[in-house]
A and B are shown apart, each in its own frame.
Chain A
Amino acid sequence: MIGGLFIYNHKGEVLISRVYRDDIGRNAVDAFRVNVIHARQQVRSPVTNIARTSFFHVKRSNIWLAAVTKQNVNAAMVFEFLYKMCDVMAAYFGKISEENIKNNFVLIYERLDEILDFGYPQNSETGALKTFITQQGIKSQHQTKEEQSQITSQVTGQIGWRREGIKYRRNELFLDVLESVNLLMSPQGQVLSAHVSGRVVMKSYLSGMPECKFGMNDKIVIEKQGKGTADETSKSGKQSIAIDDCTFHQCVRLSKFDSERSISFIPPDGEFELMRYRTTKDIILPFRVIPLVREVGRTKLEVKVVIKSNFKPSLLAQKIEVRIPTPLNTSGVQVICMKGKAKYKASENAIVWKIKRMAGMKESQISAEIELLPTNDKKKWARPPISMNFEVPFAPSGLKVRYLKVFEPKLNYSDHDVIKWVRYIGRSGIYETRC
C-alpha cells in the first residue's frame, strides 16, 4: 500500500510530507527530488523506481504530488487516489498552489489522516468529509451524540455521499450534457479516428433521499422497449445512439444497469458527475478543416485553410479558434482572413485565427504567406497538425435526455414538483487535421 505522500513546490521543496509506513524513510523525499524534479531529462514515466522504492507522481500547475511505496501496490488505485486528493484539496481551498497549500497545511494533514489509513484509501467524498473537517477547524466539539453517530454512519455507510435531512424550499435540478468531440483527419479529408467523450453532470437541490431514474436515447434500451410497437422502433430508432461504453458515479447501482440497463441512483447533494460515456458511431463533426500547404522555394510557404460548419443553420457555434502551426525558422507572416481575426504568434509558433460566432452550413477561409529564414538544418519540419477549438449548443454524439424521474417516498413532493433544466454543450476535444 501507499507508504508515504509528499507534496513539493516547483523547486523541489517539501510542502507536505506524510509517511504511513515504516519502510519509507526521510531519504525517499530527497530521492524523488533529485531523480525526478531536478532530473535534466523530461519525465519519461509517471512511475519511477529508485532503489527499490516506487514513486507515483502527478503535477498540478507547478506543484508535484508524489506517492511512495516499497510494495507491489495497485498502481491504478494510487493514481486515482492522487487525483481524488487533488479534488479534495480543490474543494476545500480552490486552486492547488504553493500559497494555498502552505496556508492550509494543517487542514491537509488532517485530511491525509482521514482519507488514507496505513496507506489504504478510506472515504474520500468531499461531501462526507466536510461534515466533520471544516476550514474553521473541527466541528465536533459541541456535537450531540446523535450528530456524531450520524457522521460516522454516513462516512462508513452505504450511501456515503449523501446525508439525511436535507431540505430545500424549491426542489430543482440541472442536467448538463457536456461532450468533447475528438477528431484526427488526414490531409485528404479522411477520418482517421473520431470519438465523442461525454459527461452528464448533474446539480441537484432535492430534499430528503430522492430516488432518481435517468433515461436517454440509448439504442439498446430503445430497441428493447420498441419490441412491442414496431412503428415506434423505426421512428425513434433513427434518433437513438450506440454507446460504446459508459462509466458511472459510485451512487449508480451498477448491477441494475448491468441487468436492466436502467440508471437509478440516490444523488449526492450539489454538483457531481453522473456518468461518462464514449461513442464512435454517427458522430456529427461540427467543423471540417481543409488545409493546403505549398512550399514555394526554400524560404516561403503558402498556407490556405478553409473551415466549413456542418450543423443546422439556426444554431450558432462560439469561441472558434483555428491554430495553424508554423515552422521554427519563420521570419514573417502575412495573413488574410474573410472572417474573425488572425494573428501570428511567434512565441507559440502558430497562426491563431479566432472567430467569435459562426452559424451552421457556412464556410470561411484564411490564407497566409510564411517567410522562412534559410537554414542548413537537415531536420525536416515535423508539420504538426492544425488544431481547432469551438463550442456548439448541441451534443455531437446525438445523445438526448429522455427523462429524469425523481421519487421521494417519505416527503410529499412528486416528480412534477421538481424543476428540471437540461443543457447540451459540445466542445472540441483534440480536433486535429494533418496538413
Chain B
Amino acid sequence: MTDSKYFTTTKKGEIFELKAELNSDKKEKKKEAVKKVIASMTVGKDVSALFPDVVNCMQTDNLELKKLVYLYLMNYAKSQPDMAIMAVNTFVKDCEDPNPLIRALAVRTMGCIRVDKITEYLCEPLRKCLKDEDPYVRKTAAVCVAKLHDINAQLVEDQGFLDTLKDLISDSNPMVVANAVAALSEIAESHPSSNLLDLNPQSINKLLTALNECTEWGQIFILDCLANYTPKDDREAQSICERVTPRLSHANSAVVLSAVKVLMKFMEMLSKDLDYYGTLLKKLAPPLVTLLSAEPELQYVALRNINLIVQKRPEILKHEMKVFFVKYNDPIYVKLEKLDIMIRLASQANIAQVLAELKEYATEVDVDFVRKAVRAIGRCAIKVEQSAERCVSTLLDLIQTKVNYVVQEAIVVIKDIFRKYPNKYESVIATLCENLDSLDEPEARAAMIWIVGEYAERIDNADELLESFLEGFHDESTQVQLQLLTAIVKLFLKKPTETQELVQQVLSLATQDSDNPDLRDRGYIYWRLLSTDPVAAKEVVLAEKPLISEETDLIEPTLLDELICYIGTLASVYHKPPSAFVEGGRGVVHKTLPPRTASNESTESPETAPAGAPPGEQPDVIPAQGDLLGDLLNLDLGPPVSGPPLATSSVQMGAVDLLGGGLDSLMGDEPEGIGGTNFVAPPTAAVPANLGAPIGSGLSDLFDLTSGVGTLSGSYVAPKAVWLPAMKAKGLEISGTFTRQVGSISMDLQLTNKALQVMTDFAIQFNRNSFGLAPAAPLQVHAPLSPNQTVEISLPLSTVGSVMKMEPLNNLQVAVKNNIDVFYFSTLYPLHILFVEDGKMDRQMFLATWKDIPNENEAQFQIRDCPLNAEAVSSKLQSSNIFTVARRNVEGQDMLYQSLKLTNGIWVLAELRIQPGNPSCTDLELSLKCRAPEVSQHVYQAYETILKN
C-alpha cells in the first residue's frame, strides 16, 4: 500500500468527493478520505470547508484515524472556532480514557487548539492530567501548561497551574522533571521579574540528580535552566561544575555545548588560583575539538561558539590550532569560520604553520574564502611582529599571481601593515604601483591612494600617480574621493612647490563640483587650514597616527559576556543578543555573567577582581568608521570592522563630530591669505562679513541649570536661557528650555529676529547624541518672522534618533537653518526630561537589582542646603518621575529608596538619606547605582535641580 497517491489528486470537484467519502459508513474509506485531506493540507490547499465532516470522524476507536483528525483540528480550529467546539466533548472523554497514550494525546492536542472556548474546557482535564498516575501523561501535561500560558497567561496563573508545575520538578520520573523545567523556563522568560523558577541549592540538587537519568533532550533543558542560576559563592559554583563536567562526554553535541555554557558561566566565579580552575580549563578543550568531527551544520554552530569562547578565554584552545585547519571538502561556511578562529589563535609559537596554511588557502576557488585568507595573512603580520616580514613577502608572492581580487585584497592589508610598522616595508611600494591599473574596487583604490599619499616624499612620480586618479574623480566612490583629497593635500604639504596646481584642482573638485557634504566639508576644512596657517595644517594632516590595534572584529566585551550566557543558542550563532532577532518580550532578558563572590573572603587573596576580566586585559576595539575628526586625521582606513553588524545601539566612544565646538572657532576666523601661499577663500563663505572677533565656542552658552523657578506641572522646567545669541547668527536669537509633560519631551524655543530682514524657511536638526534625541516633527514657523518679532514654538522630541555618546553626556548639538544661513549651537539638557513615567521598580526587583549592580558602580553625592522633609522630597521628585520605592527610618534618619528609568531603558537606583530632626544639617546624601555609571553625575544634577526649585 502506498500513500503517495493521496498527493496526486488534483481534479475539480475534489472537495465534494471527499465530503462524500468522509461521510461514508465504511471505516476504511473514511480513513482514506482523511488521509487525502491531510495530504491536500500539507501541499497548502484550503480544505477548511470539510471541517464538520472531518470532526465527525473523531469519534472512533481507531487511534491512527484519531491522530489524523487531531492533526486537521490543530490546523483549522482557529479559522472555525464555533465548529471546533464540537470536538470538545470527545477531548474531555479521551482525557478519561483508561489508555494513558490516549489521555496524553487528548491533552496534548487540546493545548494546540488556540480557541478561547476550548481553552476554558481544557483546565479541568489538564489539572487531572498533571496529577495522573502515568508519567507519560504527566510529562505531556507539563508541556501543555506552557501551551496554555502562551494562549492565556492570566488563566494559567488564576488556575494555579504554575504551582502544580513547580511541584513536578520534584517528580520521581526524570522526563517529567525535564519537561516541567522546560515549561517553567519558557514561562519565566515572559515574566522576567517573577521568581518562577525559584532556583535554590535544594532545587538545583534535584535538577542535577535528574540530569543523570533523563533523555538527551531533557538534559539539554536542565542544563539550559541551570545556566540561569547564580550560585551564592565559589564553592557552590565549583560543586555544580563538578557535577556537570561528565556531560562533556555525551554523544549529543547540544548536551555538550549546554554543559560548556554552564561551565563557562560559573567559571567566572572561580578564583584563577584555584587548582580546580586549571583542571576545568583543561577539561573544556577536548570536547570542543570533538564537536568539529560532527556533521557540518553542527560544526558550524560549534565554530561560531568556539569563536566566542576563544575571545573570552583564549587559553582553552591555544594549543589546538591544527584542528582548525581547513579541509578541502569542508562546506564554505565551515571554512570561513575556521579561518576566523585560526587568526584569533595565531601566535608566535604557531605562526609558521598558520602562514603556510593561509598561503595554501589563497589559491583556492571560492572568492570570499580566498579574500579572507589574504586578509588573514595581513592580520597575522600585525598581530605577530616577528612574522611581519614573512607575511609581507607572502603577500608579494600573491600579488605576483595577478589574480585580480587577490591583488586588491593584498593591497588593502599591506596598507594596514604600513600603518602598524611605519617606514619599514616601503621597498614593496614599487611592486604595488605596478598593479595600479588592475585595481577596480574602491577599498583597494583607496588603500593604494593612501599609501601613495603617506609615502609621497619617496615616490618620485607620486603627483603623476595621484593625478591619474583625479581624471575620473566624480566617478569614484566617496571613500576613494575622500582618500584622494587627503592624499593630495599630504603630497602638497610634503612637496609644496610642484603640486600647487594639483591641490587647487582637487580642492575645487571637492568643494564646488561635488554634492557630497562630507567631501565638501573636508575640502573646505583643508582649504581654510591651508590658507590660514600652513604650519598648523601640517600638524593636523601629517600628525602622528595612533597605533592600530592587533585584534579586529572583536566583539565588544559586554556583548561578549552576554553571548557567553547564550552559548549553544541562535544568539551565539548570529553573534547578536536575542533582542536583535526575537520579536516581542520573549527571551530578551539581558543576561550577564555572575560576579565572582568568594565563600570566605578572608582566605582569598586580597585582590578581588571585578566581574569579567580586569579592564587592562580587554583589548580595545577599533573604533567604527564614520567618525569625522578621526577622518580628517585619515584614520578612516583603519581595518574595517567586518563582524556581523550589531543591531543594538552600540555607543561610539570618544567620537567627535564636525558640529562640535572645537571646530567652530576654525570656521569663525576671517579668511585671509597668510604667508606666501596665495590661497583664495572658498567662494561660498560660511561666515558673515559683519562678524567681529570669534565669540568663543558654542559650548560657552551653557544652559544655566540652577537659576530661576520653574512651574511644577509635569517635571520641573527650567526657565528659558539664550542658546544662540543674535550676534552669532546674523540676527537670529534663540532661547529655549526643555520640558517633559505626560510622557512627551519637547523643546520650547523662542525665536527672535533681531536682523533687518524677514526670516523664513526655518528648519532644525540635531546631531547624534547620547540618548538619541531627535525632533519628532519639523520646526514649524508658520508666518515669516519679521524684524523684531518673536515667536514661541514647542518642538516635540523623540528619543529614537541615532545614538552617539557625547561629552558631556547630555550635550546636544543643534543646527538651525533659515533663509539666511545655517547656524550651529550646542546646549546641555537636564537629564530629568528623560525620566520615564513607568520608572517605578517593584520592591523585590529593586533589592535584587541593587545587589546585582557591582559596588564600583555606586556613586555618592551630597545635596547641600536642602531643608525639606521626606514627604516633600518624595513628592517633588515624583512629579519629575523619580519614584520612591520604599522608605525606612533608621536612627532618626529617613532613608528613601528610589528608582527611575531613562528613555533608553537604563535603570538608576537611588538611596537618599535625609536628617529631618537636625536643623543644623540640611544636607542630603545621595547614593546612586546604575549599570551605566556615567549617567550618575547627571542624575545627581537633575536631583539637585529638581529639589532646589
A52 close to B581 (CB less than 8 A): yes
Evaluate contact between A383 and B363: CB separation under 8 angstroms.
Answer: yes
Complex-state Cα separation, A26 to B136, whole angstroms: 31
Of B12-20, B81-89, B297-305, the one contacting chain A is B297-305
Q: Is the CB of A109 within 8 A of B71?
A: yes
A432 to B329, CA, bound (A): 11
- What's the least CB distance linking B264 to chain A, in Å? 14
Let me know if A110 is at the binding interface, CB within 8 A: yes
Check if A282 is an interface residue, CB within 8 A of chain B. Answer: no
Q: In the assembled complex, how far is the CB of residue A209 from the closest CB belonging to chain B, in whole angstroms?
A: 16
| Other-chain contact of B568, A29, A75, A245 (Cβ < 8 Å) | A75
- With most chain B CB atoms within 10 A of its CB, the pick from A17, A80, A192, A273 is A80
Query: What separation, in Å, do the CA atoms of A141 and B63 have in the docked complex?
Result: 7
A72 in contact with B302 (CB, 8 Å): no
Q: A52-B583, A73-B570, A140-B99 are in contact. Are A103 and B2 (CB under 8 A)?
A: yes
Specify which chain A residues have a CB less than 8 angstroms from the CB of B220 in the assembled complex.
74, 77
Please report which residues of chain A, range 142-161, place their CB below 8 angstroms from some CB of chain B when the two chains form the complex. 143, 145, 148-149, 151-153, 155-158, 160
Q: Cα distance A398–B566 when bound, in Å?
A: 39
Listed stretches A112-120, A291-299, A419-427; interface member = A112-120
Min Cβ gap A156→B in Å is 4
Q: Are A123 and B175 in contact (CB under 8 A)?
A: yes
Knowing A47-B300, A72-B582, say if A379 contacts B333 (CB, 8 Å). Answer: no
**Interface status of B48 (Cβ within 8 A of chain A):** no
Chain B residues contacting A432 (CB-CB under 8 Å) are: 327-328
A76 to B401, CA, bound (A): 41
Query: Are A138 and B63 in contact, with the CB atoms below 8 A?
Result: yes
Q: Would B325 and A148 count as touching, CB distance under 8 A?
A: no
Q: Which B residues lie within 8 Å of A105 (CB)? A: 3-4, 6-7, 38-39, 42
B365 contacts the other chain (Cβ, under 8 Å)? yes
Asked if B799 CB lies within 8 Å of chain A CBs, one says no
With A152-B101, A155-B136, A156-B173 as contacts: A49 and B574 at CB distance below 8 Å: yes
Is residue B372 within 8 Å, beta carbon to beta carbon, of the partner chain?
Answer: no
Instruction: Say yes or no: B570 contacts A250, CB within 8 Å.
Output: no
Q: Which residues of B contact A76 (CB under 8 A)?
A: 253-254, 256-258, 298, 301-302, 568
B140 within 8 A of A: yes
Contact with A along B318-340 (1 / 0, CB 8 A): 00001101011101110000000
Known: A258-B246, A382-B364, A385-B328. A245 touches B221 (CB 8 A): no
Say yes or no: is B174 at the interface (Cβ < 8 Å to chain A). Answer: yes
- Would A258 and B245 be within 8 Å (CB), given that A109-B71, A197-B293 are in contact? yes
Q: Tell me the complex Cα distance, A16–B3, Å.
A: 13
B98 within 8 A of A: yes
- Cβ of A184 under 8 Å from chain B: yes
Q: B249 contacts A140, CB within 8 Å?
A: no
User: Total number of A-B contacts with CB less than 8 angstroms?
Assistant: 291
Q: How far is the CA of A218 from the CA of B22 in the complex (A)?
A: 64
Interface residues of A in 5-35 (CB under 8 A from B): 13-17, 19-23, 26, 29
Within 8 A of A (CB), among B242-300: 243, 245-247, 249-254, 256-258, 286-287, 289-290, 293, 295-298, 300
The docked-state distance in angstroms from the alpha carbon of A73 to that of B221 is: 11
Question: For residue A382, which residues in chain B have a CB less than 8 angstroms away from its CB?
Answer: 363-365
Residues of A within 8 A of B328 (CB): 384-385, 387, 430, 432
Most buried by B among A26, A75, A120: A75
Which residues on A sit within 8 Å (CB–CB) of B403?
378-380
Distance between A136 CB and nearest chain B CB, rounded to angstroms: 10
- Of the residues A71, A75, A99, A122, contact of B572 by C-beta under 8 Å: A75
Contacts A42-B332, A77-B220 known; list 14 others, CB within 8 Å: A69-B570, A72-B566, A77-B258, A102-B3, A105-B6, A105-B38, A109-B68, A113-B70, A120-B221, A141-B63, A152-B100, A245-B287, A245-B290, A278-B289
Whether A14 and B43, one on each chain, are in contact in the complex, defined by CB atoms closer than 8 angstroms, is yes
Whether B216 and A250, one on each chain, are in contact in the complex, defined by CB atoms closer than 8 angstroms, is yes
Minimal Cβ-Cβ distance residue in A for B39: A105
Residue of A nearest to B256 (CB): A247
Asked if B730 CB lies within 8 Å of chain A CBs, one says no
**A414 CB, min distance to chain B CBs, angstroms:** 28
Distance (whole angstroms) from the CB of B790 to the closest CB of chain A: 49
Instruction: State how many angstroms separate the Cβ of A377 from the closest Cβ of chain B.
Output: 10
The 5 closest A-B pairs by CB, nearest first: A245-B286, A102-B4, A152-B136, A76-B254, A258-B246
Report yes or no: A380 in contact with B363, Cβ–Cβ below 8 A: yes
Query: Across the two chains, which residue of chain A brings its CB closest to B329?
Result: A430
Chain A residues, CB < 8 A from B224: 74
A positions within 8 Å CB-CB of B = 1, 13-17, 19-23, 26, 29, 42-47, 49, 52, 54, 56-58, 69-77, 79-83, 99, 102-106, 109-110, 113, 117-118, 120-125, 132, 137-138, 140-141, 143, 145, 148-149, 151-153, 155-158, 160, 184, 186, 192-193, 195, 197, 244-250, 253-255, 257-258, 273, 275-276, 278, 378-380, 382-385, 387, 430, 432, 434
Q: Main SS of chain B's interface residues?
A: helix
Q: Is B587 engaged at the interface, CB distance under 8 Å to the other chain?
A: yes
- Residues from chain A with Cβ under 8 Å of B140 in the complex: 117
Contact partners of B586 in chain A: CB under 8 A: 71
Asked if residues A247 and B251 are in contact (CB atoms below 8 Å), the reply is yes
Q: Which of B2, B258, B297, B329 contacts A58 (CB 8 A)?
A: B297
Chain B residues within an 8 Å CB radius of A244: 286, 289-290
Q: Are A45 and B251 in contact (CB under 8 A)?
A: no
CA distance A49 to B574 in the complex (A): 9
A255 adjacent to B212 (CB under 8 Å): yes
Cα distance A113–B332 in the bound complex, in angstroms: 34
Q: Is B213 an interface residue (CB 8 A)?
A: yes
B325 with A193: CB separation less than 8 A: yes
The smallest C-beta distance from A284 to any residue of chain B, in angstroms, reads 19
The complex places the Cα of A106 from the Cα of B331 at a distance, in Å, of: 34
5 A-B contacts (beta carbon < 8 Å): A102-B7, A118-B147, A152-B134, A160-B175, A193-B322
Contact partner of A148 (CB less than 8 A), chosen from B100, B108, B332, is B100
B176 interface neighbour in A102, A143, A145, A156, Cβ under 8 Å = A156
B373 CB to nearest A CB, Å: 12
User: A158 CA to B175 CA in the complex, in Å?
Assistant: 8
Interface string of B10-54 (1 = CB under 8 A from A): 000000000000000000000000010011001110000000000
Instruction: Give A2 to B155 CA distance when docked, in angstroms.
Output: 24
Nearest A residue to B135, CB-CB: A156
Question: Using Cβ atoms and an 8 Å threshold, which residues of chain B touch A253?
Answer: 212
Smallest Cβ distance from A409 to chain B, in angstroms? Answer: 20
Question: With a CB–CB cut-off of 8 A, which chain B residues contact A141?
Answer: 61-63
Nearest CB of chain A from residue B848's CB, rounded to whole Å: 23
Which residue of the partner chain, among A82, A83, A248, A387, contacts B250 with CB atoms under 8 Å?
A248
Task: Given the known inter-chain contacts A54-B570, A120-B143, A123-B215, please indicate yes or no for A254 contacting B253, CB distance below 8 A.
Answer: no
Q: A75-B569, A278-B289 are in contact. Are A113 and B71 (CB under 8 A)?
A: yes
A299 to chain B, nearest CB (A): 20
Q: Specify which chain B residues have a CB less than 8 angstroms from the CB of A117 in the assembled complex.
A: 108, 140, 143, 179
Contact A140 B251 (CB under 8 A): no
How far in angstroms is the closest Cβ of chain A from B69? Answer: 12
A180: nearest residue on chain B (CB-CB)? B293
Bound complex: CA A248 to CA B327 (Å): 26
The answer on a CB contact under 8 Å between A83 and B295 is yes
In angstroms, how far is the closest chain A Cβ from the Cβ of B47?
Answer: 13
- Decide if A110 touches B67 in the complex (CB within 8 Å): yes
User: For residue A254, which residue of chain B has the nearest CB?
Assistant: B246
Q: A42-B332, A74-B220, A80-B254 are in contact. Are A120 and B179 (CB under 8 A)?
A: yes
Cα of A275 to Cα of B290 in the assembled complex, Å: 12
Residue on B with the closest CB to A117? Answer: B143
Contacts of B73 in A (CB 8 A): none
Bound form: Cα–Cα A384–B112 in Å: 53
CB < 8 Å neighbour of A156 from B147, B175, B289: B175
Task: Please give, as numbers and ranges, the residues of chain B lying within 8 Å of A257 by CB-CB distance.
Answer: 246, 249
Contact (A72, B571) CB under 8 Å given A141-B61, A246-B249, A430-B327:
yes
Q: Which of A158, A378, A434 touches B213 (beta carbons < 8 Å)?
A: A158
